């Protein structure tokens, strides 16, 4: 989600080990090696999506996205309900006519209708999923770019030069004192209120 300023724990550890190795091998001209001073922070980007405490713009964009596809969702629900009704009608016909002469024409008509309906549901679901994914990328890519710039500015202003996304990289331990998630969300929401997000999406 957040891109160029994120580092994996393994890469970070390798960098630290490399620095320590260099420190233990003084050059002929220097007896000591000064290591860079790094201020590391942890952020949980998965919490950006929390409906109550997350990034307001995420909820605004998600609501718009779901609203655009509500009609397709309702149509699929209606088709699935019709398919379930047909299945029950077919089963009832078979049970009621067990041991007697079956109205093959009526039964076969319902079976054919059900088969076609299932094919239509599958095709409509696949088309809707493709359209949904495409539209989601269109809506969320600008927001992800804004978040990336905002997080870089947030880190620069506070002297942070390494941020680990704990929502993507498993951590064995991280002190709460270096968790900037809530602080960044509050800062971003304050600078990007919901009213502004709604106006931008409607343009």
| Domain presence at residue 4 | no
Name the domain count of the chain: 1
DSSP H or E segment with residue 63 = helix 56-68
- The residue segments making up the domain with residue 67 are 9-202
Q: Confirm whether 74 is domain-assigned.
A: yes
In a domain, 2, yes or no: no
CA atoms within 13 Å, Cβ hemisphere of 61: 22
Please check whether residue 147 lies inside any domain of the structure. yes
Integer Cα distance of 48 and 62 in angstroms: 12
Distance of alpha carbon 171 from alpha carbon 164, whole angstroms: 9
C-alpha–C-alpha distance, residues 36 and 38, integer Å: 6
Residue 47: CATH number of its domain: 3.30.910.20
pLDDT at 5: 36
Residue 102 lies in a domain: yes
Structural domain includes residue 20? yes
List per-block mean pLDDT (blocks of 10 residues) for the chain, which spans 203 residues.
38 36 47 73 92 91 94 96 93 73 78 95 96 95 94 94 89 88 95 65 48
Per residue in 161-187, pLDDT (tens digit) is 999 999 888 888 888 899 999 999 999
Per-residue buried b or exposed e for 175-202, using 16+ beta carbons within 10 Å of the residue's own CB = eeeeebbeebbebbbeebeeeebeeebe
């Amino acid at each position: 989600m957040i891109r160029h300023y994120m580092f994996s724990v393994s890469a970070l550890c390798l960098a630290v080990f490399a620095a320590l190795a260099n420190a233990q091998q003084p050059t002929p001209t220097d007896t000591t090696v000064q290591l860079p001073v790094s201020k590391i922070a942890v952020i949980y980007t998965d919490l950006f999506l929390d409906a109550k405490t997350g990034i307001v713009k995420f909820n605004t964009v998600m609501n718009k996205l779901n609203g655009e596809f509500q009609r397709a969702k309702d149509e699929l629900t209606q088709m699935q309900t019709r398919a379930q009704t047909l299945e029950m009608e077919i089963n009832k016909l078979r049970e009621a006519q067990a041991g007697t002469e079956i109205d093959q024409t009526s039964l076969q008509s319902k079976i054919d209708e059900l088969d076609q309906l299932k094919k239509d549901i599958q095709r409509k679901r696949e088309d809707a999923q493709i359209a949904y994914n495409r539209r989601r990328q269109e809506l969320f890519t600008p927001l992800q770019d804004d978040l990336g710039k905002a997080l870089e500015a947030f880190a620069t202003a506070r002297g942070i030069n390494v941020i680990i996304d704990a929502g993507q990289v498993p951590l064995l331990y991280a002190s709460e004192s270096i968790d900037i998630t809530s602080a960044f969300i509050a800062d971003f929401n304050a600078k990007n209120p919901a009213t502004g997000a709604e106006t931008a999406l409607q343009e």
